[in-house]
A and B are shown apart, each in its own frame.
Chain A
Amino acid sequence: MTALFRLVGTGGVIAYRALFNWTTPAMFVGTLLVGPLFQLLFFAYLGRQLGVADDGFYITGNAVLAASLACVFGGTMAVSNERRFGTLGHVLLSPRSRTAVFLGRVLPYAANGLLIAVTTMTAAALLLGLRVPLDALPGLLLTLAVAALACGFFGLTLGAIGLRFRDVWLVSNVSVALLLLLTGVNVPAAGLPAWMRVTGELLPITHAAEAARRLVAGDGFQAAAPQLAAELAIAAAYAVLAALLLKVFEAESRRRASLDTL
């Protein structure tokens, strides 16, 4: 069991340091802390001008969404950068469980996403004057953590798809853009067509954003719990899907001798 935890924990951290491309301080701050804050401000001012919703709606939703950038791209990098750097074959030669190796890699990205979401929410609340009830903070932190984990597993699923399709960055870019649209973070779900709402329900962020909004509104943890549970279920579903896809595509890559094809 200790060896498994070492594989998941230490292995994940080493892979994070090796594969994550935003680790210089300037790049990290610029891309992952300042970028999401400006995104939040853009939608808050747009929503304010159009009278769609109040600032709290946009601050909470976009703070939850802020976790997605690092987690979705990070999860993708966890697989596709191994191939890009020519080390995927070495990883797959290891006699250890693939599932443990790759699922463990999501954890540092999820922690990273949580940091980004908390920073974005704090900065935006200070700038735009959002008051969050003190007793909502533990629940809010839990919600952001679950959202980050769900995004990480979603990113890992996209990374697994990268074993089959070459242009995984296109898939990641489009997915991140779609999260903006489909998760109800910027357009209230009632304003979206039914098929978009249903699609959004199956994506990370949607349920976490709703749970976070209820917590910020002071409705209490009980009111947010069902949405939080739904987000957790989404995270688990993507973790299983990622593990399955990694297994299937690894077998196919070996069969077709296309493991290192870029």
Chain B
Amino acid sequence: MIAVGALLHTKQLSRSPFEIATALIVPVVQATLAVYLFRAGGEPGRLLEAAVGAGLMGVWSSVLFGSGGAIQNQRWQGTLEMIMLAPRPPALVVLPITLATALTGTYAMVATLAWGRLLYGIPLTFADPLAFAVAVPGCIIGLGMFGLLLASTFVLLRNANALTNTLEYPIWLVSGMLVPITALPGWTGPIAAALPTTWGARAVREAATGSGPVWPSLGVCLAISLACLALGAIMMTHVERRARAAATLALA
């Protein structure tokens, strides 16, 4: 059910020219910016890291805006009641949506890597190609599960969009997608350690550059994501019951 649902929602998201163009063009612009910044900083050897980092930033943006607005989008489409009427736990019907937003985020990763290779001649020589091929989908599944927690949290907040717009850069920053965590103030360390994005980004970067062991980072990413999934499922059930009792399911 999760696989079919995720495929359905991925297809649906992929029908939107706006979603696709945004997922392809904006990360490419960010990747270009990262490439010139790394070049200006005298770090041409880290261009692959820059392209991978920019791709991960695109995946996070897709999860953040897609999952953050998952419930609201269903509400606007008039399909929220039908989804909630399904005789399955609400988390199971929303999880495919958040997974789909992470899956469509892979367009960003593909776009930034292809752009880097074709235009800047960045060699796509991953230190551990097998680990990279596992780490990227692992990171994406992890972010999809984290997305469920976002979706269930944001549905409780009337001004969730404000939080969505605010959370893009802080997570890029704290998760070390382009800026190493060591360059940040010490108090950000515990926040970074609690985020699956940090460990997912670390696993993908380690697989690409060989800067460390991939599997422990990927394992921690998936463990935190599973915890987010469990928490998100509990919250989703609570939110659904409250919305049914108060008859506010369709109300924005």
A2 at the B interface (CB under 8 A): no
B166 at the A interface (CB under 8 A): yes
Contact surface of B with A, Cβ cutoff 8 Å: 17-18, 21-22, 25-26, 29-30, 32-33, 36-43, 158-159, 161-163, 165-166, 168-170, 172-173, 178-180, 183-184
Check A187 against B166 for contact (C-beta < 8 Å): no
Please give, as numbers and ranges, the residues of chain B lying within 8 Å of A28 by CB-CB distance: 162
A29 at the B interface (CB under 8 A): yes
- Majority secondary structure, A binding face: helix
Measured CB to CB, the closest approach of chain B to A47, in angstroms, equals: 7
Check B40 against A178 for contact (C-beta < 8 Å): no
Q: How far is the CA of A35 from the CA of B169 in the complex (A)?
A: 7
- The contact of B169 among A39, A173, A174, by CB within 8 Å, is A39
Please give, as numbers and ranges, the residues of chain A lying within 8 Å of B29 by CB-CB distance: 174, 177-178, 180-181
Q: How far is the CA of A29 from the CA of B165 in the complex (A)?
A: 10
- A170-B21, A177-B25 given; A45·B183 CB < 8 A: yes
Please give, as numbers and ranges, the residues of chain A lying within 8 Å of B38 by CB-CB distance: 50
Check B165 against A46 for contact (C-beta < 8 Å): no
List the B residue with the shortest CB-CB distance to A178.
B29
Q: How far is the CA of A34 from the CA of B169 in the complex (A)?
A: 10
Check A45 against B179 for contact (C-beta < 8 Å): yes
- Beyond A39-B169, A42-B173, A178-B29, 8 additional contacts (C-beta under 8 Å) are A35-B168, A38-B170, A42-B169, A47-B37, A50-B40, A170-B17, A174-B22, A174-B26
Check B159 against A30 for contact (C-beta < 8 Å): yes
Measured CB to CB, the closest approach of chain A to B139, in angstroms, equals: 20
A169 at the B interface (CB under 8 A): yes
Measured CB to CB, the closest approach of chain A to B62, in angstroms, equals: 13
Q: List 8 A-B contacts (CB under 8 A).
A: A31-B162, A38-B168, A38-B170, A45-B183, A49-B179, A174-B21, A186-B37, A191-B36
A192 at the B interface (CB under 8 A): yes
Contact surface of A with B, Cβ cutoff 8 Å: 24, 26-31, 34-35, 38-39, 41-42, 45-52, 167, 169-170, 173-174, 177-178, 180-181, 186-188, 191-192
List the B residue with the shortest CB-CB distance to A37.
B169
Check A52 against B37 for contact (C-beta < 8 Å): yes
Please give, as numbers and ranges, the residues of chain B lying within 8 Å of A24 by CB-CB distance: 159, 162
- A45-B184, A187-B36, A188-B40 given; A30·B22 CB < 8 A: no
List the A residue with the shortest CB-CB distance to B32.
A181
Please give, as numbers and ranges, the residues of chain B lying within 8 Å of A46 by CB-CB distance: 37, 178-179
Measured CB to CB, the closest approach of chain B to A206, in angstroms, equals: 15
Check A192 against B159 for contact (C-beta < 8 Å): no
Check A38 against B169 for contact (C-beta < 8 Å): yes
List the B residue with the shortest CB-CB distance to A51.
B41
Measured CB to CB, the closest approach of chain B to A18, in angstroms, equals: 19
